[in-house]
Each structure stands twice: as C-alpha cells, then as structure tokens.
Amino acid sequence: MIEKEIIIEKDIFATVTCPQQAGVFPAVLLIAGSGPIDRDGNGKKGKYPTNLYKELAVFFTECGFMTLRYDKRGTGKRQGDWRDAGLSDLLSDAKAAAAFLQGQPNVSKVIVCGHSEGTILATDIAATMAIDGCMLLSGGVDNLMEALIHQRKQAYRELLEMPGWKGWFNRKLKVDEINEKKAEKLLEKMKASNRDTIRVQGIKQPAKWFREHADYQTRAALQRVTCPVFALHGNKDPLVDSTVLEELAGLVQGESEYYVVEDMEHGLREQAEPKSILKTKTLMKTVLTRPLHEEALQLMAGWLKRFLAED
C-alpha cells in the first residue's frame, strides 16, 4: 500500500492511499462528520482519537481501491476556525476533492463515502456531479436539523426515564420542554444572524453552518441521485433515526440498499452495551479500543466489489 500527502487547491491537505501495484483503480472519497476532526477522524490534541477515516482508507485500499481523505477547515494542517465554515464551504471543499479524483489518469471511477454529517455532503455531490457511487455511513435521508431533533428526543427520553429521584426530578422540572425551548431559541438566533459565527452566553456558535443546514433539503437532493446508493447504520447508534432509510428506494432514481447492523455504534465499532445518547462520551473510551465492526466491513466490501468487477 502506498500513502502520500497531497495539497488540493492550495490549502486542502489530503492523504491518498492506493494499492502497491501500478494500475488504474476506482477511488473512494472519504467525507468526515461534523466538528473539529481531521482527515484521520481525530480531534485536536489527541482528544477522542477515533482514526475512523484512516482505518476505512486502509480497508478500502486493501479491497483494491484508491482513497482520498482530507483535513476540514481548522483541523489537521488546515488553517482557520472550523466554526466559521458553513455547509456551502464544506461542500466546496468536498467537491474540489471529488473533482481532483475525477481528473486523475489512474482513477477509473469515483465513489463518495460520507460519514455522519458527511452523508449530507456525499448526497449533494451525488446529486450534482457525475459520481459513480454513493455511500452513506451513520446518516442519510434526514437533514441535519431533523437529525438534531431526533437526538434531542432521544436525550429527553433517557432523562425522563432515569430511575429513582433523578428521573422524578427531571419529570417534575419538565426538562424536555425547557431544553427544547432553549434549542429553538438558539436556532432562531442563528437564523436571524448574517454572520459566520455568533456568541451565545460567551460561547462561539457556528451560525452560518446552522443556517445553511436548516435550509438544505436532503430528500430533494436524493431525488436527483442516479448512481447506486449504499446506506449503513448501527442499531446502537443514538444519533440517527434508522427508520428513515426505508424511504431511500422511493427517493433515489437508481438502485439502493441499506443495512442496520446489530451491536454497532455511530463510529462503526462494536458495542454490546445498551444504546444511550447520554453515555456516548463515557462509552467512547471503551468503544474506541475495539475494531471496526466486521459485518459492516464485509457489507461495504461486498457492495464495492461491483466497481472492481466493471473495470
């Protein structure tokens, strides 16, 4: 396996991996999820080192694909503040990376693979560019606002169902109603602003990012997708609503398939513990010591084989 760093459009630092032997290969573009995570899937100063995209890149390359992963703005070697970037900025970078792959003489096909928020970007690329395949990992169909509503409802449910005095106190205080009003108020402040970021109670918030995601209609984009689509969720993932994947076949114009893997969490790793959004960070310390879910890897490899067979 050969791995090298490249720079796309002057400031997009990226890593390309390809099989050791010379030849022409189909390529997979990895598009990261939300927050300050770099091309490998890691936060700053070693916090929560998932290495998810690095591990996926290695796996896909071992399957016979070239892969490309890149630093988002304000992460890795990339300058800037990640909170200044809106959806339009993230799409600009992702499309530049896709166009780069399409322009390479040793690339036969390009498959976009988005994880979490990256599924929204992958959907838009598949809807607006001549892409050969689209993979949606731990996301898809819902837009960001719908995903956040699902996450808040999951959190409220866990808070209200806590045993003993904690649950009683949360129900008495009506924490679900209080926190939902706070979330709606924050979103309205974002929408009312025309700045990239605003400060709310002293905390810098990505206003442009929220505004642009609130306006983006993922289902409408999916209706313009003609390439094959593959979607993958884990049943231990509290951040997504897997029932929306049932809509996929009725939205896209081409073929599609989706899977919900048992005992897999948002980062595609094994999780035997119960699903919980309130314990996500606590569980992460243990989950990150585990390998990527073997069934998920085999499902992805099986779907990707078609792109090797056609070359």
Same domain, 135 and 234: yes
Same domain, 82 and 197: no
Beta carbons within 10 angstroms of residue 55's beta carbon:
18
**pLDDT, tens only, 175-228:** 999 999 999 999 999 999 999 999 988 889 999 999 999 999 999 999 999 999
Same domain, 107 and 21: yes
Instruction: Name which of 161, 172, 115 is nearest 138 in CA terms.
Output: 115
Mean pLDDT (whole number) for 8-36: 94
At 175, list the tokens.
Answer: 């924490």
**pLDDT, tens only, 60-78:** 999 999 999 999 999 999 9
Same domain, 108 and 154: no
- What's the pLDDT band for 301 if we cut at 50, 70, 90? very high
Measured at the CA of 266, the angle between CA 288 and CA 1, to 5 degrees, comes to 65
pLDDT score at 26: 97
The mean pLDDT value of the chain amounts to 95
Mean pLDDT (whole number) for 47-56: 91
Burial of 159-181, coded b for 16+ CB within 10 Å and e otherwise, reads: beeeeeeeeeebeeeeebeeeee
Same domain, 223 and 288: yes
**pLDDT, tens only, 75-105:** 999 999 999 999 999 999 999 999 999 999 9
pLDDT score at 48: 74
Measured between alpha carbons, how far is 311 from 308 in angstroms, rounded to an integer? 5
Q: Is the pLDDT of residue 28 over 70?
A: yes
Mark out the alpha helices in the chain (DSSP H runs): 52-62, 87-102, 118-128, 144-160, 164-173, 175-192, 207-215, 218-222, 248-251, 280-287, 294-309
Instruction: Name which of 121, 87, 122, 117 is nearest 207 in CA terms.
Output: 87
- What's the pLDDT band for 49 if we cut at 50, 70, 90? confident
Same domain, 197 and 302: no
Same domain, 160 and 121: no
Same domain, 117 and 165: no
Enter the pTM of the model. 0.95
Residue 25 belongs to domain with CATH number = 3.40.50.1820
Same domain, 37 and 135: yes
**pLDDT, tens only, 257-300:** 999 999 999 999 999 999 999 999 899 989 999 999 999 999 99
pLDDT score at 44: 83
Same domain, 293 and 233: yes
Domain C-terminal end among 215, 235, 260:
215
Same domain, 223 and 106: yes
Beta carbons within 10 angstroms of residue 79's beta carbon:
10
Which residue range forms the structural domain that includes residue 242?
Answer: 2-142+217-309
pLDDT score at 311: 52
Into how many domains does the chain fold?
2
Measured between alpha carbons, how far is 46 from 257 in angstroms, rounded to an integer? 35
Measured between alpha carbons, how far is 130 from 98 in angstroms, rounded to an integer? 10
Give the 3-state secondary structure of residue 235. coil
Domain C-terminal end among 215, 236, 254:
215
Domain C-terminal end among 171, 195, 215:
215
Same domain, 164 and 136: no
